Amino acid sequence: MRTLNWLWRGFLFFVLFAFALNNRHEVDLHWFWGYHWQAPMVIVVLAVFAMGCVSGVLAMLPSWWRHRRDAKQRLQWLPDSVSPPDVARPVAARSGPITLPAELPFPPDMPAPRKPAK
């Protein structure tokens, strides 16, 4: 399976490299107010791809922040006697299994409901 994965990666690299070699000609991008930009087609495609990746990450940031805030709030529901496990300590050295109190409004591995159902 690992060999098949590397073959797929090699094939994909070859296809993209051949695409880049076949699109070396210059293109004109005409912007507003008479401004234009002349660059190789490969650079334009790469720039558009990078802008798409950046906009996707920026679109996900509010959701990531909300999940981090929810996770921190869930840690507050834990009683004082139970602390999150230390990663540095081995599993055998930990005091016992971590149990959660019954008054949690939702299981900790499930997302909190955002809005009540209508």
pTM over 0.75: no
On whether the CB atoms of residues 90 and 63 are closer than 8 A, the answer is no
CA–CA gap between residue 45 and residue 64 (Å, rounded): 28
Local confidence pLDDT in tens for the 118 residues of the chain: 889 999 999 999 999 888 888 888 898 888 899 899 899 888 888 899 899 999 999 999 999 999 999 888 888 777 666 555 555 555 555 566 666 556 656 566 666 666 665 6
Helix (H, G, I), strand (E, B) or coil at 28: strand
On whether the CB atoms of residues 24 and 41 are closer than 8 A, the answer is yes
CA–CA gap between residue 91 and residue 50 (Å, rounded): 42
